[in-house]
Chains A and B, each alone.
Chain A
Amino acid sequence: MSVQQISVFVESKPGHLSRVVDAFTEANVSVRGYSASDTGDYGIVRFVVDDPDRALQVLHDMNCAATKTSVLCLRLEDKPGELARVLKVLSSCGINVQYSYSLISTYICLYVKDLDQAEKLLADQPVELLDQEDFLHMTAGIA
């Protein structure tokens, strides 16, 4: 059920992130959510896209340092307490969320070391888990 996230090594300099997204545009890769964080010198930019294989190919052709990582993607109800409830499912079992970010609408993406265990836990809860297919025809604005 996991989704393939694309991560890219990007130097903290003007134009370096836009070079990556320009290439996505040109290759018709649609970004469904992203997060960019940095250390001052360099950053890792993570993307959830509609076609991860194509996205990675584009990046490799540009000689970028990029890789694929499995992550969990969930769709939350748009009401107060939902995010807290979902995160608690994991924390109560001692699972650390290494990073997490929101996608379009109330979709979120998160990464833990043991994805399978987290996925099983969440599957028993009232929250919608997404797979790669779901990102193909997703549109923003409906919650």
Chain B
Amino acid sequence: MIDITEKGAALRAASEGRFNELPVHNPDVECCSRERIRAIQLEKLIAQVEWTYERVAWYRDQMDEMGVKPSDIKCLEDVRKLPFTDKHALRKTFPYGMFAVPLDEVVELHSSSGTTGKPIVVGYNRHDMDVWNDCIMRLVQMAGVVPTDRVQMAFGYGMFTGGFGLHYGLQRLGCMMIPAGSGNTERQIQMIQDYGTTVLVATPSYAMHICEVGEKMGYDWETSTLRVGLFGGEPCPPGLKAEIESRMHIVCTDNYGLTEVMGPGVSGECLAERDMQHIAEDHFLWEVVDPETGEPVADGEMGELVLTPLDKQAIPVLRYRTHDLTRVVTEPCRCGRTSARMQKVRSRCDDMLIIRGTNVFPSQVEDVLSGIDGVTPHYRIVVDNETGLDRMVVHVELKPEAFSDSFEEMDKFRKHIEKELKNVLLVASKVKLVEPGGIERSFGKTKHVQDLRK
């Protein structure tokens, strides 16, 4: 057996297909048959709908209006009879309108960032916290985290679910938590060195920043105790992850989740197929629907992810419209898990830009740039229509080694990027080269698009 706490061992085992040597938190549900997981889901769904109908007036009104009773739920597909929930409904009932338990029973409160209007408030009772911990313990072990690990939390704590959610779950597993919080990067590196940190929790863009600052300080990542990066808080483009893995000599995974249905932990990345994430299916029923019609898409097709938490007591949510685009497959994974896998969310229904009638997703730009040598994965898209026509300018960061003392060469390089983008986006854009480090790094949700259209 491998010693998984040895730097690089988990990735090596994965690349050699020795997945039986990597930890699985709860094989009973993570590796069971599809029939068994569906049976668990149905039993929980029936109970969850009853719980919700009895205790939350908003759902009772919706279901009465639609003429649906909890007893109408007889198979998993019957979930389609239930009403959707969106952000709007959760905002309208601010702060406690959706709670299904007395507030005395609630042990934790979190909220979404609330950039527009009121935030969305969610509460957890002890049972909900246990479920949340269970989800976190699953995903961190997919990356090879073990109880003896020392985990430095470089997420901000606060109302955001990412900080405390991972903190509690990792602590439950037995890890030593180092609650550094975000910011003060030189101190982060000092703490890694002083405390022998083995796992870093951060947004991928902040991890990249820590990497760069460490390199500047002369910190040697190769001999560092740091072994695992757990990312979240924003989508992580594959190019950025690969770069962090090779420069910091760690293995990095990211997970998916959202405040409205729990927080981080809905699904997590294993080391077999890095673009997919295992859904904690005994806790979440997933659907993939056409964002326009709300109707299910064909198996394995792209669509909007809709989630129904199956044992959430304080705030039950039925059929939450995530606005995240993904596809879900149910074939067993090479890692040994049988749970359904969702493709990493790279774009949201509301991220989509329409440029001169063509749909463009920032994630497509990311994909193109990650395939071009000489540019970093950092970019910014600026759209305007000053001249009456939509114009898209992609700011791309030059790597120092790609520079040459010739306008001709630089222009050729710029045009090459423009051509590659056009091939994928199907619409022309202008590329603007900027200096290394010239794109602002953000430590929260990275904002890639500036839409100046009037």
Q: Which residues of A contact B (CB under 8 A)?
A: 5, 7, 9-11, 16, 37, 39, 41-42, 44, 46, 60, 63-67, 69, 98
Q: Which among A37, A41, A60, A69 has the greatest number of chain B C-beta atoms within 10 A? A: A41
**B405, A67: Cβ atoms under 8 Å?**
yes
- Would you list 20 pairs from A and B whose C-beta atoms are within 8 A, ordered by A residue? A7-B403, A7-B405, A9-B433, A37-B407, A39-B411, A41-B433, A42-B432, A42-B435, A44-B405, A44-B410, A60-B400, A63-B400, A64-B436, A65-B398, A65-B402, A65-B436, A66-B400, A67-B403, A67-B404, A69-B405
**9 other A-B residue contacts (CB within 8 Å) besides A42-B432, A69-B405:** A7-B403, A9-B435, A16-B435, A37-B407, A39-B411, A44-B405, A44-B407, A64-B435, A67-B404
Asked whether A41 and B403 contact (CB < 8 A) given A9-B398, A11-B438, the answer is no
Task: Give the chain A neighbours of B400 by CB distance below 8 A.
Answer: 60, 63-66
Q: Which of B256-288 contact A (CB under 8 A)?
A: none
B434 within 8 Å of A (CB atoms) = yes
**Within the assembled complex, what's the spacing in Å between the Cα atoms of A7 and B407?**
11
A-B CB proximity, top 9 nearest: A65-B403, A7-B405, A69-B405, A65-B400, A9-B403, A63-B436, A41-B432, A65-B398, A11-B435
Residue of A nearest to B435 (CB): A11
Asked whether A65 and B435 contact (CB < 8 A) given A9-B398, A39-B411, A60-B400, the answer is yes
Q: How many inter-chain residue pairs (CB < 8 Å) link A and B?
A: 49
**Within the assembled complex, what's the spacing in Å between the Cα atoms of A122 and B406?**
24
B174 within 8 Å of A (CB atoms) = no
Task: Give the chain B neighbours of A11 by CB distance below 8 A.
Answer: 434-435, 438
**Within the assembled complex, what's the spacing in Å between the Cα atoms of A127 and B402?**
36
Task: Give the chain B neighbours of A60 by CB distance below 8 A.
Answer: 400
**Within the assembled complex, what's the spacing in Å between the Cα atoms of A109 and B282?**
72
**Within the assembled complex, what's the spacing in Å between the Cα atoms of A5 and B433?**
22
B437 within 8 Å of A (CB atoms) = yes
Task: Give the chain A neighbours of B404 by CB distance below 8 A.
Answer: 67
Rounded to whole Å, the gap between the CB of B116 and the closest CB of chain A is 31
**Within the assembled complex, what's the spacing in Å between the Cα atoms of A10 and B437?**
12
